[in-house]
Structure 1
Amino acid sequence: MTEPKALARSSLITATAFVVALSLRPALTAVGPVLPRLGLDLHLGEAAQGLLGTLPLLAFAVASPLVHLASRRIGMERTVFVSLLVLAVSSALRPYTGQAGLWIGTAVVGAAIAVGNVLVPVIIKRDYAAHVSRATGIYTAFITGGAAMASILAVPIADAVDWRLSLAVWGGLAVVVAVIWLPRTLSPEPMPPTTTTDGVPPVSVWRQPMAWLVTGFMGLQSTSFYLFVNWLPTIEISTGGISERATGVHLFVFQVFGLIGGLSIPLLLKHPTNQRAGLMTASVPILLALLGLLLAPQLAIVWAVVGGLGQGAGLVAALSLISLRGRGHHETTQLSGMAQAVGYTLAAAGPVVAGYLTQVTGGWSTTLGVFATLAAVQVVIGFAAGRDTRPA
């Protein structure tokens, strides 16, 4: 094979990391649009339906810290491949195995996706070391695209056949992605060094102050994101008198501008040691959007745009921070697991706490005030985490 052809083939294989991202959300986002049909067919009440939606996030939290153990035993590429096969099987079977299969399958789906959540950003750091933030932005764009695709197609597939096929079909996508990924598993991975990139012996990330700052940023960003995703339409209807149809449009706008924010923020994360500009740019809009919903709810479309830009940028910033602050592949894998375990625990609790506070207080003012305070804490943590003070 000539050198240009070999280089092109290598680049294509490397780019398969982005293809994996397509499969990391459809099994989750396809559920919401068909949840009423699912609940009616399987006799699940609203509380059980809400728990079903939260279960994958809890699986993320439990599985994420354990991913590095499998990664060290069989390698990152092979671990991702196995997780894709597990995702394919669990996605395809869970709609057809009754209530027990639905619950177990959803938990397994969440655990399989957690592997990709943790390892793909680490692989991107390794393969795109000179362009981590830009590559992370592309990765999150693929995640968003996969999520949107499943959301849009869920109801048409359910109308044409039934809700079961609407969920099961995404197992087929995972199979396709696994086949595309397979060439990466055929070559032995290089053995990673036992020390970090700065030559310092590895220390557990759970004992590193910087790791806790990164984790705090990831957790708070995830918490506000799932508040918006779960409650934005309800907040708008309750506080701003917005119509139900308009709130659906606003949520779509929120997601579109999230994509724009995610693709734009890498420009501000390029500095090798100081990412404060990017982290502030990602964090402040989230705070402004929450304060806007609290103080001027009639301008909901404005806050959907502002919040979407911040959330999209915030996810890329959080994932980039994990890659930039991890010193070596093992430490980055552990940091990714730690940040996502804590982050998704908070994300799972956030919508529940929001609903409880609103129910107890009889309105959204206290809830929005609490979450705006958390967003302000994210700004502070982002400022602290934005400059890595460890020696290069």
Structure 2
Amino acid sequence: MESARTRGGALLLMVAVVVVALNQRPAVVGVAPVLGALRADTGLSSALAGLLTSLPVLCFGAFAPVAPRVARRVGLETAVAASLVLLVAGTALRLLSPVAVLYAGTVVAGGAIAVANVLVPAYVKREFARPGLPMGLYSAALNVGAALAAGLTVPVGAALGLDWRGALAVWGALAVLGLAVWLPVAGTGRDDRGAPAAPGGSWGLLRHATARQATIYLGLQSIQFYGLSAWLPTLLADEGLPVEAGGALLAVATVAGAVGAFVAPTLAGALQQRHRGQRSLVAAVVAGYLVGLAGLLLAPTTGTVVWVVLFGVAQGGGFALGLTLVVLRSATPLTAARLGGVAQCLGYLFAALGPVVLGALHDLTGGWSWSLGLLLALLVPLAWSGWGAARDVVLPEPSRA
């Protein structure tokens, strides 16, 4: 626990967590700025191109329940390190020409990220007695990594003379850096101080309304993020803005998201210390989404930066709050890993529909009004589920099946 570490040791561990978090979004978000070049090169439809951004999210869901079982076998530290190795491999596969291999590399990278998605918050729960600040740094780093991918994928590729495949593969270097930082700090030894056991009773958590609401909230929140992130540059280009401007505005949204991602868990932890729920934070997230999405729908080229910043703060704060609620509603790291696996499995599988459905609606209607209208309508169940998950309760440890 935090008390057993020196102040310097705890700081180094936070740095390691942040560097790992930086790697958990570029493989997904980096595709959006190159979708135009990708479609021109491969001839993929909007729906199939959107699948490249939703496929990792499917992997986040499919592999999430496996993560606690892997960690039980090899330890949390080693499981996270292995996820970085697989991320490098998946990123490298994208260099190969066949379209099928492009999708295969995306699956490998998505599976790798899924492991870290579940286990890093559980690791934070285990190592820090007050997880609010570490979760804030972790969540902010997720958004910073996404911002780097959104804003730098095209410029870096152009500067290095790379096509869209090479531009995506560059992010493998960040994963190598993450591995180099993680191994010396976290180690590779199996640690029995609460490492997640096989999730025999994980699905039993869904008997509790709070667990169901946390799962629904995470899924609906992720639809907002992955759906609009996949198509925002294209949406703005269709409204007359340059493609480069669309990628830059996506980067602005993710940078703004980093602010929300840091603030929301930090405030959530402070509220938890005072035995208060996090409903006020849920209300703020929904309000930010409402204004940002409505602005993009009604006046996409007027005040665009304002709408994008509001959406970014909402998505960063909302997603980070969802991860933090999993940690705060759990009594132990084991429960956090189990609830995280279940919530991310169902939530991400649901969220993976976002880019595909939004792309299909665009193909059917020839515009983006219906897609944005759908995202606005989904704010109603998002608010309901978040309101329930933000209650000041703690889930019991599930019994083994």
TM-score range, shorter chain: 0.7 to 0.9
Contact 2:278 2:391 in 1 (8 A): yes
| 2:352 alignment partner, SS class | helix
Contact 1:23 1:173 in 2 (8 A): yes
C-alpha distance in structure 2 between counterparts of 1:293 and 1:7, whole Å: 45
C-alpha distance in structure 1 between counterparts of 2:99 and 2:157, whole Å: 19
Residue 91 of structure 2: aligned partner: 91
C-alpha distance in structure 2 between counterparts of 1:202 and 1:176, whole Å: 33
User: Which residue, out of 312, 316, 319, partners 1:312?
Assistant: 316
Q: Which runs of no fewer than 5 residues in structure 2 stay unpaired?
A: 397-401
Q: Which amino acid aligns with 1:168?
A: A
- Note closer, same or farther for the CA distance 1:23–1:256 as it changes in structure 2 (3 Å cut): closer
TM-score, normalized by length of structure 2?
0.83
C-alpha distance in structure 2 between counterparts of 1:161 and 1:294, whole Å: 36
* Residue 114 of structure 1: how far off its partner (Å): 0.8
* Residue 296 of structure 1: how far off its partner (Å): 5.0
Residue 243 of structure 1: aligned partner: 241
Residue 399 of structure 2: aligned partner: none
- Note closer, same or farther for the CA distance 1:203–1:344 as it changes in structure 2 (3 Å cut): closer
* Residue 313 of structure 1: how far off its partner (Å): 1.0
* Residue 180 of structure 1: how far off its partner (Å): 1.9
User: Which residue, out of 339, 345, 349, partners 1:345?
Assistant: 349
TM alignment of 1:178-193, pairs within 5 A: 178-183=179-184, 184-192=186-194
Greater Cα shift, 271-280 or 358-367: 358-367
* Residue 334 of structure 1: how far off its partner (Å): 1.5
From the two aligned structures, give the one with the greater helix fraction: 1
* Residue 103 of structure 1: how far off its partner (Å): 1.9
Contact 2:33 2:153 in 1 (8 A): yes
Contact 1:60 1:344 in 2 (8 A): yes
- Note closer, same or farther for the CA distance 1:168–1:300 as it changes in structure 2 (3 Å cut): closer
Residue 329 of structure 1: aligned partner: 333
- Note closer, same or farther for the CA distance 1:135–1:311 as it changes in structure 2 (3 Å cut): same
C-alpha distance in structure 2 between counterparts of 1:254 and 1:9, whole Å: 33
| 1:210 alignment partner, SS class | helix
TM alignment of 1:236-385, pairs within 5 A: 243-244=241-242, 247-269=246-268, 270-272=270-272, 273=275, 274-295=277-298, 297=300, 298-360=302-364, 364-385=368-389
Percent of residue pairs identical? 38
- Note closer, same or farther for the CA distance 1:283–1:359 as it changes in structure 2 (3 Å cut): same
The structure that has the greater radius of gyration is 1
| 1:254 alignment partner, SS class | helix
C-alpha distance in structure 2 between counterparts of 1:85 and 1:105, whole Å: 13
- Cα shift readout 1:237-274 (whole Å, capped 9, x = no counterpart): 66xx5534665554343223222222222453121241
Q: How many residues were matched structurally?
A: 381
Contact 1:125 1:323 in 2 (8 A): yes
Q: Which runs of no fewer than 5 residues in structure 1 stay unpaired?
A: 196-200
* Residue 213 of structure 1: how far off its partner (Å): 0.8
- Note closer, same or farther for the CA distance 1:203–1:120 as it changes in structure 2 (3 Å cut): same
Matched, 1:144 2:143: yes
C-alpha distance in structure 1 between counterparts of 2:256 and 2:205, whole Å: 33
Matched, 1:211 2:211: yes
Greater Cα shift, 152-161 or 335-344: 152-161
* Residue 178 of structure 1: how far off its partner (Å): 1.5
* Residue 324 of structure 1: how far off its partner (Å): 0.6
- Note closer, same or farther for the CA distance 1:39–1:365 as it changes in structure 2 (3 Å cut): closer
Greater Cα shift, 37-46 or 269-278: 37-46
TM-score, normalized by length of structure 1?
0.85
C-alpha distance in structure 2 between counterparts of 1:322 and 1:167, whole Å: 31
C-alpha distance in structure 1 between counterparts of 2:53 and 2:221, whole Å: 19
